[in-house]
Amino acid sequence: MKKALAILSLGIFFLSACASGPAGHVAHTDEIGAHDYWARSALKGGNTAIYLFLYNQTAEADALIGASTDVAEAVEVHLSQMDANDVMSMTKQESVELPAQGEVEFAPGGYHFMVLGLKQDLKAGAEITLTLHFKHHADITLTVPVMDGTDTDGMDMNH
Ligand SMILES: [Cu+2]
């Protein structure tokens, strides 16, 4: 019975969130983890963004409290939002709540990992390492594929 329930919940999870992406179909063995992650290609000295789905299959809420990578000066968690004048702006987030049995999408126009001050070119086909830091869970390190993308999160950053 327990097994049947687990399979059922996994099925729902896949239906709701695993629609696409090259990194997405790793087995969900960790209780907290990420899938469908990718970084937008960019040039050395510039900024870029990383997108993913973050899931929490545990019964306890957690929170993402930061991230790091060795290919850039810094990684910040940002939220893009439309302001009252229909201008898209980004605000740095100190943490992002990750509800029990929940999932948070980091996607163009919403939450994203802002990668600031690239130390090298990121070309499509390359891979970079991103380490996620949580309030409770141990760090999780992802090998993130670089892809070409046309969205503009971070292209007009004024840091
Ligand atoms: Cu940003």
pLDDT at 13: 42
6 domain-assigned: yes
pLDDT at 12: 41
Q: Which residues contact 142 (CB under 8 A, 6 or more apart)?
A: 23, 34, 37, 52, 129, 130, 131, 132
Block means of pLDDT (10 residues each) for the chain, 159 residues, are 47 41 49 96 96 95 98 97 89 97 95 97 97 97 93 51
- Cα of 103 vs centre of ligand 1, distance in Å, is 20
pTM as predicted: 0.76
C-alpha to C-alpha distance for 61 and 153, rounded to whole angstroms = 28
Looking at the structure of the chain, the number of domains it has is 1
pLDDT at 111: 97
pLDDT at 29: 55
Q: Which domain holds residue 45?
A: 2-147
- Cα of 137 vs centre of ligand 1, distance in Å, is 24
Residues with CB under 5 A from ligand 1 (ion): 78, 90, 114, 154
pLDDT at 149: 81
CATH number, residue 90: 2.60.40.1890
